[in-house]
Amino acid sequence: MVSVSVTGSVTPTTVSTLAGKRILLGISAGIAAYKSALIVRLLKQAGCEVRVVMTSGAQAFITPLTLQALSGEPVRTSLLDPEAEAGMGHIELARWADIVLIAPATADLIARLVHGMADDLLTTLCLASEAPKLIAPAMNQAMWRHPATQRNVAQLGADGWQLIGPAAGDQACGDVGPGRMSEPEAIFEAVTRHFSATPLTSNSPHVVITAGPTREALDPVRYLSNHSSGKMGYALAAAAVAQGARVTLISGPVALPTPAGVTRIDVESAEQMHQEAMRLAPEATLFIGCAAVADYRSASPAEHKLKKQADRDTLTLTLIKNPDIIADVAALPAGKRPMVVGFAAETQQLEQYAHDKLNRKGLDMIIANDVSQAGLGFGSNDNAALLLWRTAQGTEHRLEAPQPKTQLAQGIIRQALALLSF
């Protein structure tokens, strides 16, 4: 899931990347539909051809006339338009698109897409089009977290859809949490990355990456966690896609958009992350454990909110160890074990602790960073790292100076992919 700079501008490089690309933009019902106008504008500024398809509910939030004025093309709203369908217009439109982009996508639309429904123009186009498909969910935080929505989103990823977001924050209903549609600039960036990424082939490595923090519940409203923002893991995912890998990102709760071309699986706890990692690792070429996984969890999370006791100044919690994800992946038998890269976030004796973790957990490579340095590591856009990896002659290392996480990620992925060839 790389941190996207929201500038609202289109650079000359972006224009050359997107010039002449045909974008079919689908808009479903939701307050975020008003942001779709800016998406159209950004795409047009970059030289794209844009055609818009709206569901009936979307028209309650923004008018077709507005989008027609911005796109310069008629807006399609009905599957049963006699004039458009005289020449099988929905099939022609499906074949026309270089990509299908849906923003916003409601929980209802996502559910219908998963089940292959074709009960309106937009869902019919999605079934009929063989173009790559990107989708930006937008809904209430409770709807997003619902198990049915999470199952549907996971299935969309398995079907080849690329998720963009959602983001977290204030929502129109007054709630706060994940489910906000990613900002138009982030969606535009995802489209740009899609067209600039190296195409996948049958020989493309499958890279599985864990990212972000985990949350270990203490009661229904409190949890143990850490300061990880997920930026490093998401930067690694974007860098791996750019270098021609097929990428699956197992993400803890973060407020970052999914990088274009990445299949994202959202988890909360260390046990959930462990389950997904062990399911995916045997089919992976490279496994990168970048997540800041909680070492311990509550032995028995309270069923109801823990109340403050007036006669007690202390609270005792019993914690138990979480599974060691990176060690368990590294311990897989030959034939099922990918190359394993771990991370070590330290505050002292960086090289010594990194060597120890590399050997103790049986890793092939480790990236160690000093999280005590101001402006680096957790939550920041920059990082520095010590890279150590195994060779036939022993252990080699390289020190990476402070730099943007996106740039550091590219160097890490290049080194890891180079080791695969030995």
What residues are designated binding site for CTP? 289-291, 295, 305, 323-326, 343, 357, 361
Structure tokens at 150: 């999470």
Residue 309: exposure state from Cβ atoms within 10 A (0-12, 13-18, ≥19): exposed
pTM of the model: 0.57
DSSP bridge partners of 247: 207, 262
Query: What DSSP string runs through 213-243?
Result: B--EESSSS-EE-----SHHHHHHHHHHHHT
Q: Token match 């080194």: residue?
A: 415
Q: Which two tokens stand for residue 183?
A: 């900002």
Annotated catalytic residue: which of 173, 317, 331, 420? 173
What pLDDT sits at residue 157? 77
**Binding annotation:** 289-291, 295, 305, 323-326, 343, 357, 361
Per-residue pLDDT tens digits of the chain, which is 422 residues long: 222 223 345 555 556 678 889 999 999 998 999 999 999 999 999 999 999 999 999 999 999 999 999 999 999 988 766 555 544 466 888 889 999 999 999 999 999 999 998 888 999 999 888 888 999 999 988 888 888 888 888 888 778 788 887 877 777 777 777 788 888 988 888 888 778 766 656 678 999 999 999 999 999 999 999 888 899 999 899 888 878 888 999 999 998 888 878 889 999 999 999 999 999 999 999 999 999 999 999 999 999 998 888 888 888 889 999 999 999 999 999 999 999 999 988 778 888 889 999 999 999 999 998 877 766 656 677 788 889 998 877 788 888 878 888 888 888 998 898 888 65
126 catalytic per annotation: no
* All domains of the chain in start order, with CATH: 1-196 (3.40.50.1950), 199-302+314-422 (3.40.50.10300)
